């Protein structure tokens, strides 16, 4: 009799476990956009392939997880305005259609940036030609999507680390007021879009001061600026939480929306911060330690950083309108190829198989 009891108990235990694992497997993953629906938009950056929707599984995943989209590259001038007077809006129109179909907000990235400029602009020598490109580009691109995008990164990365103006073709040919002029032109071209200044490391005190100076100049000129993007390309174990909080408060105090626009947490060795795409480091096996998989201990440290970040974002959700991850999953991240080509990086909250990492679990737990 006793044996029969144990057999029944064991089979009940086995059936309940297999049911649970089956149930767990079939439960759809909670969408980050739904978990944080009362706090801020949750966005991601889409590659050209993701915009073309070549992978239906990935497209469904993006639909379920995010309610804001940024084109990682295809709305930059090198792609959307490849020759003088010729525009290619094909992929930009496609991400717009995608966002409308899936009820997601679209962020325009970016109207004026010194990087990824088309060759014919980089070679311009006289100020009048630069001015003509500058005015035509902003007007043509911004007016086309007026009333269709939520907002534009009007100017991207105009500052040096010490808060001074970065030496770019725009500064050189148009002078330091080019940033204000870009916002003035954008305001006229797209009265219905929010207008943002976007940069990396602008949570750091010196760069924050330079960013505030730019913002105050725009405001003093009576030109509209609605928000500031803190890109959020941070490093494992070195996330500057205090600087981030002080910056959220300082930018909000200017009457601006604050957005975390390109969030990722670098887990591979790198001895400098930021996201200056012009910086390169020679390949070296010691810089690619997790080519065959990442230790759980590192994933747990990353989860703690993401948890502490989202706890801070939730504390200031009255000031933060959007948190955008710079990529859908680890396999897409730009950090697999920068500043060292061909590395295997793990900076986001979903892995290469679209599975949640401990970081995902850690941030949604904050809302339970
Ligand atoms: O599309 C071409 C492809 O045809 C070609 O075969 C290949 C080989 O070089 O290059 C491909 O273009 C690459 C493009 O990404 C699309 O994958 C460019 O070389 C590469 O430089 C470009 O990198 C982008 C980077 O900006 C440089 O502009 C990254 O994907 C993108 O994530 C990154 O994003 C920037 C933000 O816009 C601004 N803030 C910093 C952030 C990180 O650098």
Q: What is the pLDDT of residues 43-68, one digit of tens each?
A: 999 999 999 999 999 999 999 999 99
Answer yes or no: are the C-beta atoms of 297 and 305 closer than 8 Å: no
Task: Please tell me if the CB atom of residue 113 comes closer than 6 angstroms to any atom of ligand 1.
Answer: no
Q: Which residue's CA is the nearest one to ligand 1's atom 40?
A: 275
How far is the centre of ligand 1, averaged over its atoms, from the C-alpha of 93 (Å)? 19
For 233, 244, 296, 365, the CA distances from 308, given in Å and listed in that order, are: 15, 12, 18, 12
| Separation of CA 249 from chain center | 20
The tokens for 343 are: 């590395």
Task: Please tell me if the CB atom of residue 266 comes closer than 6 angstroms to any atom of ligand 1.
Answer: no
Closest by CA position to 312, among listed 236, 232, 254, 214: 232
- State yes or no: pLDDT of 17 exceeds 50: no
Average pLDDT over residues 106-122: 97
- State yes or no: pLDDT of 318 exceeds 90: yes
How far is the centre of ligand 1, averaged over its atoms, from the C-alpha of 73 (Å)? 6
pLDDT band at 10 (very low <50, low <70, confident <90, very high): low
Task: Please tell me if the CB atom of residue 324 comes closer than 6 angstroms to any atom of ligand 1.
Answer: no
Q: Which residue's CA is the nearest one to ligand 1's atom 38?
A: 156
- State yes or no: pLDDT of 9 exceeds 60: no
- State yes or no: pLDDT of 272 exceeds 90: no
Burial tier of 52 (Cβ tally within 10 Å: 0-12, 13-18, 19+): middle
- State yes or no: pLDDT of 280 exceeds 90: no
Q: Crossing angle for the helix pair 296-315 and 241-252, nearest 10 degrees?
A: 30
Look at the block and give the residue holding tokens 């990396």. 200
Ligand 1 closest atom vs CA 333: 32
Task: Classify residue 158 by its DSSP letter.
Answer: -
Which of 44, 49, 73, when mutated, tests ligand 1's pocket best, judged by the most ligand atoms within 8 Å of its CB? 73
- State yes or no: pLDDT of 126 exceeds 70: yes
Least confident of 74-83, 271-280, 290-299: 271-280
Answer yes or no: are the C-beta atoms of 240 and 234 closer than 8 Å: yes
Q: Which residue's CA is the nearest one to ligand 1's atom 11?
A: 73
pTM reported for the whole predicted model: 0.92
Task: Please tell me if the CB atom of residue 325 comes closer than 6 angstroms to any atom of ligand 1.
Answer: no
Q: What is the pLDDT of residues 135-176, one digit of tens each?
A: 999 999 999 999 999 999 999 999 999 999 999 999 999 999
What was the pLDDT predicted at 162? 98
Task: Please tell me if the CB atom of residue 332 comes closer than 6 angstroms to any atom of ligand 1.
Answer: no
What was the pLDDT predicted at 120? 96
Q: Which residue's CA is the nearest one to ligand 1's atom 12?
A: 73
- State yes or no: pLDDT of 282 exceeds 90: no
Task: Please tell me if the CB atom of residue 78 comes closer than 6 angstroms to any atom of ligand 1.
Answer: no
Task: Please tell me if the CB atom of residue 115 comes closer than 6 angstroms to any atom of ligand 1.
Answer: yes
Long-range contacts of 361-366 (CB under 8 A, 24+ apart): 361/303, 362/303, 362/304, 362/306, 362/307, 362/310, 363/32, 363/35, 363/306, 363/307, 363/310, 364/30, 364/32, 364/35, 365/307, 366/307, 366/310, 366/311, 366/314
CA–CA gap between residue 260 and residue 216 (Å, rounded): 20
CB burial string 188-226: b at 16+ within 10 A, e below: ebbeebbbbbbbbbbbbeebbebbbebbebbbeeebbbb
Closest by CA position to 349, among listed 307, 320, 293, 287: 307
The tokens for 332 are: 């897409």
Which positions are catalytic?
157, 262
CA–CA gap between residue 302 and residue 309 (Å, rounded): 11
What was the pLDDT predicted at 2? 55
pLDDT band at 22 (very low <50, low <70, confident <90, very high): very low
How far is the centre of ligand 1, averaged over its atoms, from the C-alpha of 365 (Å)? 33
Third-level CATH fold of 35-266+283-367: TIM Barrel (3.20.20)
Query: Which of 9-18, 337-346, 350-359 is the most confident on average?
Result: 350-359
What was the pLDDT predicted at 198? 98
How far is the centre of ligand 1, averaged over its atoms, from the C-alpha of 210 (Å)? 26
How far is the centre of ligand 1, averaged over its atoms, from the C-alpha of 246 (Å)? 31
How far is the centre of ligand 1, averaged over its atoms, from the C-alpha of 74 (Å)? 9
What's the chain's average pLDDT?
A: 93
């Amino acid at each position: 009799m006793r044996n029969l009891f144990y057999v029944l108990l064991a089979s009940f235990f086995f059936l309940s476990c297999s049911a649970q694992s089956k149930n767990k497997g079939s439960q759809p993953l909670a969408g980050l956009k739904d978990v944080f629906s009362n706090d801020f938009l949750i966005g991601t950056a889409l590659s050209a392939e993701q915009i073309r929707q070549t992978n239906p599984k990935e497209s469904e995943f993006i639909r379920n997880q995010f309610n804001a989209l940024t084109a990682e590259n295809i709305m930059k001038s090198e792609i959307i305005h490849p020759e003088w007077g010729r525009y290619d809006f094909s992929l930009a129109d496609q991400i717009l259609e995608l966002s409308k179909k899936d009820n997601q907000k679209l962020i325009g990235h970016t109207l004026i940036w010194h990087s990824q400029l088309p060759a014919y602009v980089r070679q311009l020598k006289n100020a009048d030609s630069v001015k003509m490109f500058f005015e035509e580009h902003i007007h043509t691109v911004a007016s086309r999507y007026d009333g269709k995008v939520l907002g534009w990164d009007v100017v991207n990365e105009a500052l040096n680390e010490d808060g001074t103006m970065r030496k770019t073709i725009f500064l050189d040919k148009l002078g330091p007021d080019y940033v204000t002029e870009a916002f003035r032109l954008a305001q006229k071209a797209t009265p219905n879009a929010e207008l943002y200044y976007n940069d990396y490391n602008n949570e750091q005190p010196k760069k924050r001061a330079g960013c505030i100076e730019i913002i105050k100049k725009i405001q003093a000129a009576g030109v509209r600026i609605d928000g500031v993007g803190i890109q959020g390309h941070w490093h494992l174990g070195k996330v500057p939480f205090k600087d981030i909080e002080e910056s959220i408060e300082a930018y909000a105090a200017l009457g601006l929306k604050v957005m975390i626009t390109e969030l990722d947490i670098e887990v591979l060795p790198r001895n400098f911060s930021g996201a200056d795409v012009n910086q390169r480091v020679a390949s070296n096996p010691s810089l690619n330690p997790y080519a065959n998989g990442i230790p759980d201990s590192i994933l747990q440290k990353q989860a703690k950083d993401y948890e502490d970040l989202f706890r801070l974002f939730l504390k200031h959700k009255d000031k933060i309108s959007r948190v955008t991850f710079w990529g859908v999953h680890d396999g897409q991240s730009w950090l697999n190829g920068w500043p060292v080509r061909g590395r295997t990086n793990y900076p986001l909250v979903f892995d290469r198989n679209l599975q949640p990492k401990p970081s995902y679990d850690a941030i949604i737990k904050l809302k339970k």
